[in-house]
Amino acid sequence: MMTALKLLLGLLIALLLFVAVLAVRTLCTGKKEAIYTPSEDQERIAAYGEKLSRMVRYETVSYRDAPDVEKFRGFHALLAELFPRVFAELEKIEIDGNLMMKWKGTDDTLAPIMIISHQDVVPAEGEWTHDPFSGEIVDGKLYGRGAGDIKNGVFSFYQAVEELLAEGYRPRCDVYLGSSCTEEIGGDGAPKMCRWLQERNIRLFMLCDEGGSIIEDPIAGVKGSFAAIGIFEKGYGDMRFIARSNGGHSSTPPRNTPIARLAKFEAEVERRSPFKVRFSEAVDGMFRNLAPYASSFGLKLVMVNLPLLRPLVKKLLPMISAEAAAMLQTTIAFTMQKGSDGYNVIPQEAWVTGNLRYIPHQGLEESNRIITELAAKYDIETEWVTGNDYSRSLDLNGEPYRMTLACIGKIFPQLGVMPYVVTGGTDSRFFDPVCDACVRFTPTAVDADQLGRMHGIDENISVNVLPGAVDYYKCLIRMQEER
Ligand SMILES: [Zn+2]
């Protein structure tokens, strides 16, 4: 009896000590505020807004089945008009409508950097309040398809180089500006640019592309403005799951018809994901960085003590947030489904498609094997359609990441920073063969409404965020002098 009591007492003391450690660690983490301050330089804002407006007015929709190289060449001509110094002094390389500008550096021994953003946009469907290709500026917001995704990026780095040239600046390393015209259709523009570099044995020191931007209130319980820096990109896969039978009449239905089997399979995947949950450096870094900004003690305690509480958080997080879950594991979403063609016909073949997003700790091959084996349990065949694996991860202890942080700190001194996992797809994934360090971050600020309108109706960007973005790219190019 005494020993049991002693054991219980010992456990209680250990638990109290553990809680005390968590609390002390939390209390030792200071409170910070993350603030973004837009520009007040009305002259710059007006001039930049006008240039970006003209870029938006030029329609650059890309279509999968109808490549229109001439349309993009027309856009290049507009860029040449808006950024005359860039086109006069940099070498122009055009590959089937994809544009690269090469700015020769003074030191041949240094690996170049490349800044990219695509020039194409998705079609503008639905009823817009502001014509999608008018480039209208109303109450400080520039409306139009591509204003947010991602002509603001193209504008910002072209303008940065234009201004550096006007100052007589020469970069130390070669600087490439790249812009594919096929990003929105997952086309071969970026791979072609990558091949061009490969053929010349050019390895990049760093590549900067879209991915994250400056966002507000990134997760529930954390308020403020943060630079969301994409550390890696998940892989992408389309699969088809097929259930077969001998058909039969629906008046005498057998058990386990194809549709029922598919439904059981889908329900199991949704009830209990077959993919492993694991914290990556990016997700750890995200919570570590966000901890000082947490509004409640409880949330802060969890974030600060993540290494100690990981088993618990691993279980809870996927239940709380789909976004968070997507950063911790491979995901699958069922997207299209088909059975027979008649109300009264049991299908001989029914299928459902699944869209997978692969995480580095369970890549394309392993994830496909897991889902194939699970499907087989329900007598379902699997067919691979298309896809690619996850991208390489940016080293959070490396020089390119340090430079990114340094420029953010200089241009946006009160901004918070958070590394994160890009769950969509960008052009930068194609550059893995020539670059170890892809920074997926555009230095323009967007609020939640603007973020939701990319690819949607009334896409827009605030024009007072443009000067900061231009300054950021100027800083990044100048920072190469420190290498
Ligand atoms: Zn984009």
Q: Which two tokens stand for residue 38?
A: 């837009």
Higher model confidence: residue 264 or residue 280?
A: 264
Give distance in angstroms: CA of 211 to centre of ligand 1.
8
Cα 178 to averaged position of ligand 1 atoms, centre (Å) = 13
**CA neighbours within 13 Å on the CB side: how many for 127?**
0
CA atoms within 13 A on the CB side of 54: 16
Q: Is the pLDDT of residue 23 over 90?
A: no
CB 275 within 8 A of CB 370: yes
Please tell me whether residue 380 adopts helix, strand or coil conformation.
strand
**pLDDT mean over 96-124:** 97
> Ligand 1 centre from 230 Cα, in Å?
13
For residue 136, pLDDT over 80 is answered with yes
How many angstroms does the Cα of residue 53 sit away from the middle of ligand 1? 17
| Cα 337 to middle of ligand 1, angstroms | 28
pLDDT given at position 1: 63
Q: How far is the CA of 263 from the centre of ligand 1 (A)?
A: 34
Beta strands in 364-470 (DSSP E): 380-388, 416-422, 438-445, 460-462
Distance 151 CA to ligand 1 centre (A): 9
Residue 354 Cα to ligand 1 middle (Å): 23
What is the CA(8)–ligand 1 centre distance, in A?
58
Task: Specify the pLDDT at position 184.
Answer: 94
Q: What is the 124 CA–ligand 1 centroid distance (Å)? A: 14
**How crowded is the C-beta side of 263, counted as CA atoms within 13 Å?**
6
The alpha carbon of 454 and the centre of ligand 1 are apart by a number of angstroms equal to 9
Look up residue 279 and give its DSSP letter: -
- Ligand 1 mean position, distance from CA 460 (Å): 14
- Is the CA virtual torsion 17, 19, 22, 28 positive or negative? negative
| 112 Cα: distance to centroid of ligand 1 (angstroms) | 23
Higher pLDDT, 53 or 345: 53
Look at the domain 42-213+227-233+392-482 and name its fold: Aminopeptidase (3.40.630)
Q: How confident is the model at residue 201 (pLDDT cuts 50, 70, 90)?
A: very high
Q: Rounded to the nearest whole angstrom, what is the distance from the C-alpha of residue 214 to the centroid of ligand 1?
A: 15
Tell me whether the CATH fold assigned to 42-213+227-233+392-482 matches the one assigned to 236-388. no
Listed residue (40, 76, 72, 56) closest to 128, CA to CA: 56
Ligand 1 mean position to 439 CA, how many Å?
Answer: 14
Q: How far is the CA of 162 from the centre of ligand 1 (A)?
A: 23
Secondary structure (DSSP) of 207-242: EEEEEEEEEES-STTB-SEEEEEEEEE--EEEEEEE
Ligand 1 centroid, distance to 426 Cα (angstroms): 7
Using the mean position of ligand 1's atoms as its centre, give its distance from the Cα of residue 335 in Å.
22
Q: Is the confidence at residue 253, as pLDDT, over 80?
A: yes
For residue 183, how far is its CA from the centre of ligand 1 (angstroms)?
7
Average pLDDT over residues 81-94: 98
* Ligand 1 mean position, distance from CA 362 (Å): 26
Element (H, E) at 203: none
Q: Which residue stretches of 305-388 are H helix?
A: 306-320, 322-328, 364-377
Distance 382 CA to ligand 1 centre (A): 31
DSSP 472-483: HHHHHHHHGGG-
Query: Can you tell me the distance from the alpha carbon of 80 to that of 47, in angstroms, rounded to the nearest whole number?
Result: 16
- Tell me if residue 381 falls in helix, strand or coil: strand
Please tell me the distance from the alpha carbon of residue 78 to that of residue 155, in angstroms, as a whole number: 12
Q: How far is the CA of 446 from the centre of ligand 1 (A)?
A: 14
What is the Å distance from ligand 1's center to 349 Cα?
38
- Phi, psi values for residue 280, rounded to 5°: -105, 170
Q: How far, in Å, CA of 62 to CA of 294, rounded? A: 41
Domain ranges of the chain: 42-213+227-233+392-482, 236-388
Structure confidence at residue 318 (pLDDT): 76
327 CA from centroid of ligand 1 (Å): 19
Q: Is 80 exceeded by the pLDDT of residue 35?
A: yes
What pLDDT is recorded for position 157? 98
Q: Give 305-341 pLDDT, tens digit per residue.
A: 988 888 888 888 777 778 888 889 999 999 999 999 9
User: How far is residue 192's CA from residue 190's CA, in Å, rounded to a whole number?
Assistant: 5
Tell how far the Cα of 5 is from the centroid of ligand 1, in angstroms.
63
Distance from residue 313's CA to the centre of ligand 1 (Å)? 32
**Separation of CA 469 and ligand 1 centre (Å):** 16
Tell me, what's the pLDDT at 246? Answer: 86
Tell me how far the alpha carbon of residue 122 lies from the centroid of ligand 1, in angstroms: 9
Residue 152 pLDDT class (50, 70, 90 cuts): very high
Phi, psi at residue 265, to the nearest 5°?
Answer: -60, -50
Contact 381, 267 (CB under 8 A): no
Residues 4-29: what's their mean pLDDT?
A: 87
How far apart are the CA of 249 and the centre of ligand 1, in A?
Answer: 49
Fold of 236-388: Alpha-Beta Plaits (3.30.70)
Q: Ligand 1 centroid to 119 CA: how many Å? A: 9
Asked whether the beta carbons of 213 and 401 are under 8 A apart, the reply is no
Distance (Å) from CA 166 to ligand 1 centroid: 29
Distance from residue 342's CA to the centre of ligand 1 (Å): 41
- Between 285 and 132, name the one with better pLDDT: 132
Report how far residue 259's alpha carbon sits from residue 264's, in angstroms, rounded to the nearest whole number: 9
